[in-house]
Amino acid sequence: MLNGEGYRASLDDGRSVYIRGERIENMARYAPVAATIDRIARTYDRGYDPAPGATNPLLAAPRSAEEFRERLAQLHGEDLMLHVTYQSLMALLTAAGRIEQDFPEGAARVRAYVEDCRRRDVRMVQCITDSKGDRSRSAGAQTDPDQYLHVVERRDDGVVIRGAKLHISGAAIAHELMVMPTKRMKPGEEEYAVACGVAVNTPGVKIVSTMPDQPGDADPREFPLSWDRVLPEALIVFDDVFVPNERIFLDGHVASSAAFAHSLGLWERLSATGGQVRRAEQAVGLAQLIAEANGTERIPHIRDKVNDLVLHATLLRATFDAALVKSREDSDGILIPDELNTNAAKVLAGEGWAAVVARLVDIAGGSTMTAPSPLDFDHPDVAEHLDKYMSGVDGISGIYRARLFHLIKNMTADGFGGWLNVTTIHAGGGLYAQRLVMRKHFDMDSAKATALALLGGVNPVQAERAGAPAGGIAR
């Protein structure tokens, strides 16, 4: 296993990372992510076990719904990189069971790779979304074949891949890239049906990252949510990258090409929703706290807005819990979350967050954007004035109220708030994809039968096709 210092040292491995026009030689010394690196290092230290063969228990598959719930809560309390690694490993193991029949050798490689990653205690990110070029064309119909990652050469000992993957959170500070097709490929698109594990420092991998709009020396009082959670986002170029056979999980098997994306979508949506449930409940608390500080908590329209937030948080929590309670074991004994409720919860979270933000900001007021920095309260020239004029009802200090405003801003309106707005919708695929999976797993036959019972239990269209009388309408 790695400890914190071992993690820091592991980032100086020759990887090619570019941020704002600069090649970053060592991410462990890159100031804008220093607090995030510190947080990850502390997580490593807390989980470190020097015993031979020890692995992090948080990366093990849960065996019960209660363990599932506890595991996700623990992961949300740690750093995001550990959480993303957990999603990735669970998605790989789920996919292994789904490709077993089509490509048993690939399934065996997946399981061996997962165990190797656990043993080395690495952090992993997910590479799924291609650059896609002309979105009206499929992978095999692109003018430029590199717009979807594909195999350009097959050798006895492996393959060479070329292309790019977008929207990769944390790639610059991870160790492994889990690469997979973005969707199901068709016959004739075998070169695009490739899934594999790639180390970030593999020759030909170029990680071009962007950073949220937050200073590298962010103060926890001004950025209470994000100061040590900022992750670089990345566009990753695979410029003729060689992948050895033991790291190839799928190669040309179009029938199984969607297995990895579907498995990842399930786990990423569940994990993301777990965080969104917690954030929805935090939004309720923030709305009530700022209303009390402002002296507006008894105003009817403020109470109604808080009630709306309570309803959203409650429905989201109930649907998320149903995804865990209705989970089932797969052939490997891994507990798989319920697909219907996982996707329903993710849709609720994604479509409801904009309304949460609107109500929270409306309750708080314009100081969400204009409150002085908590750092200004440290300056002797203005501290007394700020504490006086930013105060609320009796007993509520100016600094307390200002810190509430900055917390609300960090959640809803600054660079990190914008990141939350986008990822709440797009984490695990867009809302349309989540709705499709939700519909697929809904028991439509049962719903139709329930409705037909109101018509006397006979479907006229089916009866006519069978040559039987349709019957009458129940009265």
DSSP 374-415: GGGGG-TTTHHHHHHHT--STT--HHHHHHHHHHHHHHHTSH
Please report the pLDDT score of residue 331 as a whole number: 79
Asked if 343 and 270 count as a contact pair (C-beta separation under 8 A), the reply is no
Compute the average pLDDT of residues 55-62.
90
Measured distance CA(347)–CA(327) in Å, rounded: 18
User: What stretch(es) of the chain map to CATH 2.40.110.10?
Assistant: 4-257
* R_g over Cα of the chain: 25
Residue pLDDT, tens place only, 319-340:
999 999 999 988 777 889 999 9
**318 band by pLDDT with thresholds 50, 70 and 90:** very high
**3-class DSSP assignment, residue 328:** strand
**468 band by pLDDT with thresholds 50, 70 and 90:** low
Compute the average pLDDT of residues 30-48.
94
Please report the pLDDT score of residue 469 as a whole number: 53
**Checking phi first, is residue 145 left (phi over 0); if not, alpha (psi -120 to 50) or beta?**
alpha
Please report the pLDDT score of residue 140 as a whole number: 93
Compute the average pLDDT of residues 125-142.
95
User: What stretch(es) of the chain map to CATH 1.20.140.10?
Assistant: 261-441
What is the CATH superfamily name and number for domain 261-441? Butyryl-CoA Dehydrogenase, subunit A, domain 3 (1.20.140.10)
Please state which architecture CATH assigns to domain 4-257: Beta Barrel (2.40)
Asked if 209 and 171 count as a contact pair (C-beta separation under 8 A), the reply is yes
Compute the average pLDDT of residues 293-299.
97
Count Cβ atoms within 10 A of the Cβ of residue 221 and give its class: 0-12 exposed, 13-18 middle, 19 or more buried.
middle
Please report the pLDDT score of residue 217 as a whole number: 81
DSSP state of 418: H
Measured distance CA(209)–CA(22) in Å, rounded: 10
Please report the pLDDT score of residue 411 as a whole number: 96
Please report the pLDDT score of residue 363 as a whole number: 97
Q: For residue 116, list its beta bridge partners.
A: none
**475 band by pLDDT with thresholds 50, 70 and 90:** very low
Distances (CA, A) of 91 to 88, 105, 114, 121, 259: 5, 17, 10, 17, 9
Asked if 241 and 202 count as a contact pair (C-beta separation under 8 A), the reply is yes
Please report the pLDDT score of residue 82 as a whole number: 95
Compute the average pLDDT of residues 101-112.
95
User: CB-hemisphere CA count at 13 Å for 446?
Assistant: 3
Distances (CA, A) of 121 to 184, 218, 243: 31, 29, 21
Please report the pLDDT score of residue 461 as a whole number: 64
Measured distance CA(19)–CA(468) in Å, rounded: 70
Compute the average pLDDT of residues 386-408.
96
Please report the pLDDT score of residue 460 as a whole number: 67
> How many residues are present in the chain?
475
What whole-number percentage of the chain has pLDDT above 90?
A: 81
Compute the average pLDDT of residues 94-99.
94
Please report the pLDDT score of residue 426 as a whole number: 86
Per-residue burial over 148-179, b if 16 or more Cβ lie within 10 Å, else e, is bbbbbeeeeebbbbbbbbbbbbbbbbbbbbbb
Residue pLDDT, tens place only, 265-287:
999 899 889 999 999 999 999 99
CA 246 to chain CA centroid, nearest Å: 27
How many CB atoms neighbour CB 236 within 10 A? 26
Task: Kindly report the average pLDDT of the chain as a whole number.
Answer: 92
Helix (H) or strand (E) holding 336: strand 335-336
**305 band by pLDDT with thresholds 50, 70 and 90:** very high
Q: Given a cut of 60, is residue 453 above it in pLDDT? A: yes
Q: Given a cut of 70, is residue 248 above it in pLDDT? A: yes
Amino acid identity, residue 171? A
- Higher model confidence: residue 173 or residue 423? 173
**428 band by pLDDT with thresholds 50, 70 and 90:** confident
Distances (CA, A) of 191 to 182, 228, 241: 13, 40, 14
Most confidently modeled range among 127-141, 215-229, 459-473: 127-141
Tokens of 229: 């959670």
Q: Given a cut of 50, is residue 57 above it in pLDDT? A: yes
Please report the pLDDT score of residue 472 as a whole number: 47
Tokens of 389: 């004029």
What are the φ and ψ backbone dihedral angles of 86, each rounded to 5 degrees?
Answer: -60, -50
Please report the pLDDT score of residue 105 as a whole number: 96
Q: Which of 89-98, 222-231, 339-348, 458-467 is least confident? A: 458-467
The pTM assigned to this predicted structure is 0.87
**Which residue spans within 63-172 are E strands per DSSP?**
124-127, 129-130, 150-155, 158-166
How many CB atoms neighbour CB 461 within 10 A? 9
Measured distance CA(276)–CA(465) in Å, rounded: 48
